[in-house]
Structure 1
């Protein structure tokens, strides 16, 4: 029969959840002007940087429209020059009282109309220049681009609304979001612990979390909570949370699933024992201990969650107790035994 004192260790209790990665930025690339697609400047699935040229729509119709608007501006400026000359002539005639006031007023009005036509032509030029610029479609963000949805030679339908045809999509990669749902009970437990001062609020962006993918051991990816939804989903009884993780090697991809652990407490010194040392007596959990006279004594405990392969004991044991960790089948309360010393060791968790 082997006995050992409970293991004392500073730990953090963790809650684990399954969730899914999502891009911080997701952009649907659409054309803002219509025309024939003449060039594609990327390979499907490659990394693109903000400002990189992606598509070119035939700019010639818009360049012709721009030239026409510039000609309209020249014409409007000529009208302003003429209106100025006529106004000066009319002012001189009016000063000598050779021209009625109505004629002079008409010249003033003509100048204002001509000036307004110049401003209108300048606005039309700015609009035409934008249309020419919009024929060159560039990447709005840095990230991984999807496949092109339209091939060269197709007529692209553009516009300022969402009805414009989809050309491709881009998702940012670093950093990356991880969304997961926690039950109402888990969320309430976090809030209670925060109210008692046992841990920081889950809405505090400094709360550190860890994560692993389906083929990884341990918790190799570190991040932090960045958002908790403002209400519980009525249908599912869950609340959604979001963590953010750095992704410098671009291993993490939007849509992947992973397993995250969130701290359920601040670091504290806990008593840990193996599950094999716990006996169930109806609804009670019991641990058999050996006192200084080598007599078996049963103690009722309140166990907590598992931690590193051992069970946290909330209450019922003291650090000096000697618990039976091997040979429970031969132990009986109030019986005298010949114990042998042993040790309790942690087992690193792999999930």
Structure 2
């Protein structure tokens, strides 16, 4: 019995000693950043399609057999370059015949002119009748008309001969040859190839009514007409274009307004038909409150952030988020200037009101090259 009492006393003493030596864990360390307040232009993204400003379906103006295809398919051509040659021999024969007809008509005109002049002298001497005089003048007028007809026929023959050389009407990129050497091409019917201009391209896209109204208000107040265009993948190369056309009415079926942006394409790398992502400015805020996207948490349809107060206690703030600006989000409601928001370490927060150890960092993440430069300066 005495042994039991001694053991009980010893165990109680050990438990008391263990309770006395327990130490509460320190507050968790989190990264916080102050809300950014600065002027910003808000952009919205739309899907667009690349279209060539000029597109030509090349067809012959005269019929004939193709003698030569004088271009490389898919290559750039200049206005005036020979693309197709139709057999010119039949048209050369017609031109020569027209020259002969004109020469004959001129000789007949010369004869009729001489007879008319002679008749004028004879009628003054009353050597011929007035009727014969009128007949010779009529013959002169008829000869002149025949010369005009022959000249018109020659002009037509020369044009037809020129049309056997089918040249590029615009500078651009040629498609494939749809008719090859030896095949018959019918005037105004046979499609030979297609040309598209490439020095600049148009990007057509449709903006919803709300965004269109905001953009129109921004433009009316002298806002930028520049747009950012990304081709290919989400992280593809970005280009800068500008708005050069806005449709005069909304599409009743879709409720959208069509825009067109002009993009320079001097190297010809952008092809008509490509999809493009177009970012267009829709508003300008003089003092926007922004935080890093990583700070925003979701709970069903509710968005909130953790804010650290002056006592390093965590508070929950429900926020109304707006447009993205890079890695930042515009906050419409829920935060104030000077608020410190937890960016990294939100998983360490278990309850509102708990104490944390805040480490102040920049709200906007620096690019890698700027971060390396900052580290060098700090050393």
Same fold, TM exceeding 0.5? yes
Cα displacement (A) at 1:348: 8.5
SS of 1:170's partner is strand
Question: What is the distance in 2 between the residues matched to 1:218 and 1:62?
Answer: 53
Q: Which residue of 2 aligns with 1:244?
A: 262
- Where do 5+ consecutive residues of structure 2 fail to align? 1-29, 368-379
Q: Deviation string for 1:153-200 (max 9, x for gaps)?
A: 1121114xxxx10011111112111112222232233235556x4x63
Question: What is the distance in 2 between the residues matched to 1:272 and 1:42?
Answer: 56
The answer as to 2:286 corresponding to 1:257 is no
Question: What is the distance in 2 between the residues matched to 1:341 and 1:230?
Answer: 54
Cα displacement (A) at 1:267: 6.9
SS of 2:273's partner is coil
Q: Which residue of 1 aligns with 2:97?
A: 68
RMSD: 2.6
Cα displacement (A) at 1:287: 4.4
Identify the structure with the greater helix proportion: 2
Q: Which residue of 1 aligns with 2:320?
A: 302
Cα displacement (A) at 1:51: 0.7
Question: What is the distance in 2 between the residues matched to 1:348 and 1:295?
Answer: 28
Which TM-score applies when normalising by structure 2? Answer: 0.80
- How many residues of Structure 1 are paired with residues of Structure 2 in the alignment? 336
Q: Deviation string for 1:261-283 (max 9, x for gaps)?
A: 11122474422113454466887
Q: Is the deviation greater in 71-80 or in 287-296?
A: 287-296
Question: What is the distance in 1 between the residues matched to 2:330 and 2:236?
Answer: 20
The answer as to 2:55 corresponding to 1:29 is no
Verify the 8 A CA contact 1:309 1:348 in the aligned structure 2. no
Q: Which residue of 1 aligns with 2:156?
A: 127
Which TM-score applies when normalising by structure 1? Answer: 0.86
Verify the 8 A CA contact 2:43 2:281 in the aligned structure 1. yes
Q: Deviation string for 1:243-271 (max 9, x for gaps)?
A: 11111222211111121111122474422
Q: 2:210 aligns with which of 162, 167, 185?
A: 185
Q: Which residue of 2 aligns with 1:11?
A: 40
Question: What is the distance in 2 between the residues matched to 1:8 and 1:20?
Answer: 36
Question: What is the distance in 2 between the residues matched to 1:290 and 1:348?
Answer: 23
Question: What is the distance in 2 between the residues matched to 1:274 and 1:85?
Answer: 99
Output aligned runs, 1:309-328, within 5 Å: 309-325=327-343, 326-327=345-346
Distance change (3 Å), C-alpha of 1:165 and 1:341: same
Q: Deviation string for 1:56-87 (max 9, x for gaps)?
A: 11111111111111111111111111111111
- Where do 5+ consecutive residues of structure 1 fail to align? 201-205
The answer as to 2:200 corresponding to 1:175 is yes
Question: What is the distance in 2 between the residues matched to 1:221 and 1:25?
Answer: 21
Cα displacement (A) at 1:339: 4.2
